[in-house]
A and B are shown apart, each in its own frame.
Chain A
Amino acid sequence: MIFSRLFPFSIHIVKGHSMQPSINESDRVVVFNWAYLFSQPKSGDVVVFRGSDGRGYVKRIAAVTEKGEFLVEGDNKGDSRKLPPVRRSAIIGRVVGKY
């Protein structure tokens, strides 16, 4: 996944239900890996990032902390649990489409 940033776009298969109804399990999401080259992620953006366990996650940015880290959450509040704040460097790119 770290090499994703070399290419402007990457495709990912979604596993899990926490982004329903926006993104369903097994949906493919298209990620623009260069979305934040010249701008900062902002609240409301759906992003793919590398979790502390090294795996890729797809979530929506809920807020930016005073330290400049990003609080993320799923759209499906019933299935979305707490995640630690995400650092800017862990964000791979912004989801720009799905199919």
Chain B
Amino acid sequence: MSMKKLTGLFAAAMKKIEAVAKPTLVYAHCDVPCGIYEANTMTMAADTVNKMVEKIVELKAPGADPQQHRDFTNTVVRMTLTKEEWAQKCKQELLILWTDYFKDEHLAKFPDLHAKVWKATKLCSQAKRTVDLNVARQLKEAVAEIARIFAETKK
């Protein structure tokens, strides 16, 4: 049986099924919820970056055994990859709030908002480049501060 015939049979069968079980619409866009923002994702992302840095710092150096060396390298790569991904996600979430959510009235109430977002996004990049507990903590604090401002604007 040719592929064309099979496709035709499938389409006919699905048409019959759809006649009985009417398909309903589901939306792959955000008509109504558009404009609804949250700060959970960036907070979780910053926490993840911080946790990964803590874990990398806590890792014990491998001994002379080649297998220990391989396992160690594998663990470091996995943790660094996770750090990289979540630092990028954190930056992306910060930029969404900055470009799409925060408005002039928010800026009037929090005049240093631009500087704070700029600093936090810079810290995301710094957290990618380094394994530095201080940077990771600063990122967590900077994101928490923007989350606090976000919450304030919702009151």
| Chain A interface residues (CB < 8 Å from chain B) | 1, 4, 7, 9-19, 23, 25, 28-29, 48, 51-53, 55-59, 62-63, 65-66, 71, 74, 79-85, 99
Contacts and interface: CB of A to CB of B under 8 A. Distances in A.
Secondary structure class of chain B's binding surface, majority of residues: mixed
B110 interface: no
A3 B29 CA distance: 23
B37 to A, nearest CB: 5
Contacts of B36: 82-84
B44 interface: yes
Interface residues on B, range: 20 to 34
B6 interface: no
B108 interface: no
A15 B33 contact: no
A1 B26 CA distance: 10
A43 to B, nearest CB: 12
29 contacts: A7-B21, A10-B21, A10-B24, A12-B23, A12-B25, A13-B24, A13-B25, A14-B25, A14-B27, A15-B29, A18-B28, A23-B28, A28-B14, A51-B27, A51-B32, A56-B25, A57-B26, A57-B28, A58-B26, A59-B28, A63-B41, A65-B40, A65-B44, A71-B40, A80-B30, A81-B34, A81-B100, A82-B34, A83-B36
